[in-house]
Amino acid sequence: GAVVSQHPSWVICKSGTSVKIECRSLDFQATTMFWYRQFPKQSLMLMATSNEGSKATYEQGVEKDKFLINHASLTLSTLTVTSAHPEDSSFYICSAGQTLSYTFGSGTRLTVV
Amino acid sequence: AQSVTQLDSQVPVFEEAPVELRCNYSSSVSVYLFWYVQYPNQGLQLLLKYLSGSTLVKGINGFEAEFNKSQTSFHLRKPSVHISDTAEYFCAVSFGDDKIIFGKGTRLHILP
């Protein structure tokens, strides 16, 4: 079946630095990938839709300059959290696939200290 | 407004007992419905989905769900739970585009 790999699985960074999270579709091509954010014991919040070869579409309230998304190939999308602050600490999850048949990555736990 | 609601934040159930996790949605258009399971510090795994056809959908791990259009519900059921079913369960809805909107989740506690 479709496999989505997310890396790293966890990362700790200092406040003010930037962190890049990768999402790869291992055995299929994904023209669209989605990035979610999940706070502890809460649901997933869609942050943005990553489109291969074009700009990402951000949900209302998500700062596009802070959460940079790049989808340069059909198998890779990256989320860069710029100038990270402790409030950016969260669990970030990507998903990819065909319409109505999405596979989720295993998530990245980001802790900003 | 289009939304998905999981009324129960936590559901405790004794091992080998049946369980039902509730999910309701609000939409003026056709919907596609999903149930996902999330184990601690992991991504989401699809349990089952309803796209069309039979309203009773069978998924993995012995789970099933029934789409009820008149009640706008898609409740998840399992006749006999196991300790390994302890996890967070998310109901999700797609309103015809590529986006999937998630409910707030229900934590299933299996009691020995």
**What phi and psi values does residue B83 have, to the nearest 5 degrees?**
-55, -30
CB A49 within 8 A of CB A56: yes
The whole-chain average pLDDT of chain B stands at 92
Q: So what's the pLDDT on residue A51?
A: 85
CA distance B16 to A32: 41
Instruction: Name residue A2's amino acid.
Output: A
Q: Give A56-81 pLDDT, tens digit per residue.
A: 999 999 999 999 999 988 899 999 99
In chain A, residues with a C-beta closer than 8 Å to the C-beta of B103 are 43
In chain B, residues with a C-beta closer than 8 Å to the C-beta of A46 are 99-101
For the segment A99-112, the average pLDDT, to the nearest whole number, is: 89
In chain B, residues with a C-beta closer than 8 Å to the C-beta of A6 are 43
**What is the least distance, in Å, from the CA of A45 to any CA of chain B?**
8
A93 Cα distance to chain centroid: 6
Q: Is the pLDDT of residue A30 over 90?
A: no
CA distance B54 to B63: 15
CA distances from B102 to A62, B6, B17 (A): 17, 9, 27
- Percentage of residues of chain B with pLDDT beyond 70: 99
Q: Give B66-109 pLDDT, tens digit per residue.
A: 999 999 999 999 999 999 999 999 999 988 777 888 999 999 99
Q: So what's the pLDDT on residue A16?
A: 97
* Nearest to A67, CA basis, from A44, A43, A92: A92
Q: So what's the pLDDT on residue B61?
A: 93
Q: Is the pLDDT of residue B46 over 80?
A: yes
Q: Is the pLDDT of residue B30 over 90?
A: no
Give the chain B residue nearest A90 (alpha carbons): B41
Phi-psi region of A59 (alpha: psi -120 to 50; beta: other; left: phi over 0): beta
**What is the least distance, in Å, from the CA of B21 to any CA of chain A?**
16
Burial class (CB in 10 A: 0-12, 13-18, 19+), A61: exposed
CB B36 within 8 A of CB B47: yes
